[in-house]
């Protein structure tokens, strides 16, 4: 059986987890934090998630694991068959990660420690987030899903990216729901799904353990 390694408080871990649950794939969850001894054998970059295939091979990077899941488990597809549309979904995944998740991630240590981020850092983050907002507004339809009529990996990616983007908003003051028309109602629709609710419940269940891990 394939194994997903990581922890449920991680938004990146929850992307492939959501895809596996959506497709009804049987898999094991290995609760592990990235500094665990030997974790580098699963992912040399020491980041969560990583994935072990049925054949015992290790993969890492959430987007790569998601693509593997789609190829290995084609049921309930999460990418369009049309070449252009499939790559449009990938573009949405990448812009969400690069211009909404990663800049806001730089502010997480301040949020977690209750300290104020330096103004120059906040300005840098805001400039990058502006690119993300413009990209999502240009590419996403929210009609009803991110890439249009079909529920795709872009929905899963954007939803979990927003977990970190929201935390950064406390420092930047950027209200993504206000800046991206359609975002809030789409988010409600996504979150109402049974799979999203299981992932959210597991995330909450891991919260205490995660904060103990980072405080150590
Ligand atoms: N590019 C990586 C990012 C994963 C990532 O940043 N994971 C966080 C948890 S949400 C992590 O492992 N952080 C530990 C660290 O940075 O040392 C991916 O797509 O999988």
Render pLDDT for 6-47 as a digit per residue (tens, 0 to 9): 999 999 999 999 999 999 999 999 999 999 999 999 999 999
What's the pLDDT score for residue 95?
Answer: 98
Q: CATH top-level class for 3-77?
A: alpha beta
Pairing mode of beta strands 50-52, 3-6: antiparallel
Q: Whose alpha carbon is nearest atom 15 of ligand 1? A: 47
User: pTM of this prediction?
Assistant: 0.97
**61 ligand 1 Cβ < 6 A:** yes
SS3 label, residue 145? strand
Structure tokens at 108: 């997480």
What's the pLDDT score for residue 71?
Answer: 98
What's the pLDDT score for residue 216?
Answer: 81
Q: How many CA atoms lie within 13 A of 12 on its CB side?
A: 21
pLDDT band at 178 (very low <50, low <70, confident <90, very high): very high
Q: Are 86 and 80 in contact (CB under 8 A)?
A: yes
pLDDT tens digit sequence for 53-112? 999 999 999 999 999 999 999 999 999 999 999 999 999 999 999 999 999 999 999 998
To test the ligand 1 pocket, which listed residue (47, 153, 206) has its Cβ within 8 A of the most ligand atoms?
A: 47
Return the ligand 1 atom nearest residue 164 CA. Answer: 10
Which H/E stretch holds residue 106?
A: none
Question: Residues of CATH 1.20.1050.10 domain(s) within the chain?
Answer: 83-181
Kindly give, in sequence order, each residue whose CB lies less than 8 Å from that of residue 163, ignoring residues fewer than 6 positions away: 11, 14
SS3 label, residue 35? coil
Structure tokens at 58: 């290790």
Level-2 CATH architecture, domain 83-181 = Up-down Bundle (1.20)
């Amino acid at each position: 059986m394939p194994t997903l390694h990581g922890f449920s408080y991680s938004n990146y871990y929850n992307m492939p987890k959501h895809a596996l649950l959506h497709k009804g794939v049987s898999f094991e969850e290995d609760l592990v934090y990235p500094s665990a001894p030997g974790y580098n054998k699963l992912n040399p970059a020491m980041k969560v998630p990583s994935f072990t295939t049925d054949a015992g091979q290790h993969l890492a990077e959430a987007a790569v694991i998601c693509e593997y899941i789609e190829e290995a488990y084609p049921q309930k597809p999460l990418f369009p068959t049309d070449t252009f549309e499939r790559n449009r979904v990938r573009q949405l995944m990448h812009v969400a990660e690069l211009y909404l998740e990663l800049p806001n991630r730089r502010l997480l240590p301040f949020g977690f420690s209750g300290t104020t981020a330096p103004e120059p850092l906040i300005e840098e983050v805001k400039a990058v987030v502006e690119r993300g907002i413009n990209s999502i507004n240009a590419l996403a339809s929210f009609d009803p899903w991110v890439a249009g009529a079909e529920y795709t990996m872009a929905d899963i990616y954007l939803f979990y990216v927003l977990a970190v983007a929201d935390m950064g908003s406390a420092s930047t003051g950027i209200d993504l729901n206000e800046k991206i028309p359609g975002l809030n109602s789409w988010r409600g629709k996504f979150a109402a799904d049974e799979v999203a609710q299981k992932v959210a419940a597991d995330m909450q269940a891991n919260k205490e353990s995660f904060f103990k891990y980072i405080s150590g």
